[in-house]
Amino acid sequence: MNSGQTGMAQAVGVPLPIRVNGVEIPEQAIAAEMQYHPAVSMDAAYLQAARALVVRELLLQQAGRLGLDRTKSKADSGETGDDARIHLLIEQEVETPKADDDACRTYYDNNRHKFRTQVLLVASHILLPAPPDDVQARREARQQADAILAELERSPETFEELARTRSACPSGKEGGSLGQLTHGQTCEEFERQVFCLPQGLCPKPLETRYGYHIVRIDRRVEGKSLDYRMVSDKIARYLDERVEHKALSQYIHYLAGEAEIEGIDLTDSDSPLMQ
């Protein structure tokens, strides 16, 4: 192990070596694994990579103790080597009951708000721009927006003309028209506000990172409930995945509790591997 690699581990606060029942996890392997664990910092990525390799070693050692071989598997996933042995271990040792129709229907009945078609808006806006970090510019943009809004309340028919002459958005050339909107087409802070609006002129400017928006909802089409038959397969997959994830997490907790692990802590319930 070279000094640069030792320095990386020390920099992220992980004592060396990391061992699982006496088997050392090489520093080079952790460094290579980091690419599969994007995180907000190198420290966080390193810790996630180290935990992942410790969990992998736990599973491989358990497969070895049970004498598992991929040829005994009930399913052919195309995996080979260590991945195949881990797959077989999970297949044999982790019980994951499938969601039945009653469970799926109960989930549907308790979460009907999740099973609707999207709200559709036909909207127009006038953008008064201001950089997010310029307090004075944002104050002035808000004052301009309030003034335009007051004018529109007196003369709503002037919206298109004001959009053409005052809006900083390219849509101003089209009288401010944004066309049809569904979730995911505009920035998050704009959507969070605009999809709550009823049809008509919004009585106050909406603030986003871009400035202030005067918004008119020209048409609002509410989403419709989806029939259970249309979403039952999706619900079943979701419930099955949730059960599998929980069962695997519990199994890993069990193996970690029975093992001697040095250099890293897997008992942290906030660890991504345990969630």
| Same domain (yes/no): 91, 42 | yes
C-alpha span between 160 and 158 (Å, rounded): 6
User: In the 8-state DSSP scheme, what is residue 117?
Assistant: P
The pLDDT assigned to 261 comes to 93
Give the DSSP H or E segment for 246.
helix 228-258
Residues 212/132, Cβ–Cβ less than 8 Å: no
The answer to whether residue 103 sits within a structural domain is no
In a domain, 226, yes or no: no
Reported as a single tens digit per residue, the pLDDT across 160-178 is 999 999 999 999 999 999 9
Q: Is 115 part of a structural domain of the chain?
A: no
What does the pLDDT read at residue 39? Answer: 86
Q: What's the pTM value of the predicted model, to 2 decimals?
A: 0.58
Q: Among 254, 246, 198, 258, which Cα is nearest to 222's?
A: 198
Q: How many domains does the chain fold into? A: 2
110 lies in a domain? no
DSSP letter for 101, please: H
> Quick one: 210 and 125 in the same domain?
yes
- Of 221, 241, 258, the domain-final residue: 221
pLDDT tops 70 at residue 149: yes
Whether residue 16 is predicted with pLDDT greater than 90 in this model: the reply is no
Same-domain check for residues 93 and 154 = no
Least confident of 92-96, 133-137, 231-235: 92-96
Dist CA 34 CA 261 (whole Å): 20
* CATH code assigned at 163: 3.10.50.40
Any domain includes 112:
no
Q: Which range of residues forms the domain containing residue 89?
A: 3-98+233-274
Is the domain of 267 the same as that of 215?
no
* pLDDT tens-digit map of 25-81: 999 999 999 999 998 888 889 999 999 999 999 999 999 999 987 555 444 555 568
Question: In the predicted model, what is the mean pLDDT of residues 212-232?
Answer: 94
The answer to whether residue 108 is domain-embedded is no
Which strands, in side-by-side order, build the sheet including 261-262?
Answer: 23-24, 19-20, 261-262
